[in-house]
Structure 1
Amino acid sequence: MTLLSVNLNKIAVLRNSRGGDEPEITRAAITCIETGCGGITVHPRPDLRHVRPDDVRTLATLLRGRVEYNIEGNPFAAPRGAYPGLIALAREVRPTQVTLVPDSDGQITSDHGFDLERDAARLRPIIDELRELGCRVSLFVDPGAKGFEHGVAMGAERIEIYTGPYAHAFAEGDAKEQLALCADTARRAQQAGLAVNAGHDLSQANLGTLRAAIPGLAEVSIGHALIGEALYEGLATTVRNYLQILR
């Protein structure tokens, strides 16, 4: 079954909007794990607007030996203040997977992937270091991306397809073209020897269609829609709904 990794960034956004510790990100993680999710995802950013480095460390202790831990981020974002940098965090907590994403400081959310040919030279030493730490490395790519042989040569083991365009097209009522693009991207990546993850704007409404179109889909990372839906149905019920879709 495709692994469900729940992104907890929105829990941290809600907590940070008021200050203090509520809602507790650890309690949310425990709820998701006890309900059956296979992983937890966080995406710490240098401006600390949601998940913070101390959250990353606390969750590492909580999750170890229980579920997969996926940390996303831009490896080229410079350390500042309490943010030590993505690689330094990975060095500290040794997550199961690090997903490298080329987002800038000013982006509200990730909205594009790496060019695997153009970015190969600067990504290779980062991937080497993460692999030495025992982390699986996934590269965030656009639907329609090319050059998967470069990803394999760099030592990456997975890609994550940016599914924002697909989700937008699905909401507009015509996702056929974007769905085919995601499926073709997955097929070519798998043929090159990479496992395939997917994430961004996936929801209960659009996940089943994507899952059916990508045989062997390894993992989906879902946060924004899942947490939004949980406001109405509860977190445990919502996680169960996603797991049922993936089955």
Structure 2
Amino acid sequence: MIQAIDRAAKVLQSLQGARHLGITELSAMLELPPSTVHGIVKSLAEHGLVAKERGGNRYMLGPALVKLSNVYLDTLDVRARAMRWTRELARRTGLAVRLGVELFDEVLVIHHNRRPDGSQQMLETGMTIPAHASAMGKVLLAYDEEYQDTVLRVALRSLTGDTITDPAKLTLAFPGIAERGVATEEDEAVLGESSIAAPVADASGGVVAAVAVVLPSSEWPPVDGVLNDLRETARNISRELGATTWPPRVSTHED
């Protein structure tokens, strides 16, 4: 690992979540001398990756990250091939749809279709959700033993009173998720919100993403047909990516 890049990445991670931090705060968080942090921040600012508050001495994430994130999303084959299917899933179910991929111990939403009811809704593309607290994350965990090692080796934080934080309890559910091809969560990440997710596989047979429908917990369980529509969408996206079977196989440490 290159130390300078590692430190710069940790500065960016410290500023995520709309945080505005000064050099002293960043220095304490990263356990680095203020002079070192100041040099890193100045270099990142030169490239637009961080920005200084107008009239202040604190820093935030910079506008160049938006461009980089859009470039990343545009290069994802799974996103490009999934968009027409997720749009149709939202139309048929009347629910919001998310497409997510692994990002360390979280799930990154790489595409989001709002509920087609015309109501005001926030676009969630780019949002992250702790893997253990989301249906998409449970799907990705169930099909990838190495991802389980990454997520479950550290203490799992509670987001609501219903968040499952016991690794053993989560692990017990994985074989059933892999067999059925679906995972669920009720109020585990956000109170009042529940979701169902299914795996998306590529030509290698491995799971590369998860697709989910999101609904108010007051409407749980979903009406008949939603589960079938979700599974069919996951199957169609997987077929577009070259998968020959669905549900996909579980990726083990030996793969």
On whether the aligned pair clears a TM of 0.5, the verdict is no
- Determine which structure has greater relative contact order: mean sequence separation of CA pairs < 8 Å that are 6+ residues apart, divided by chain length: 1
TM-score by length of 2: 0.28
Which structure would you say has the larger Rg? 2
TM-score by length of 1: 0.29
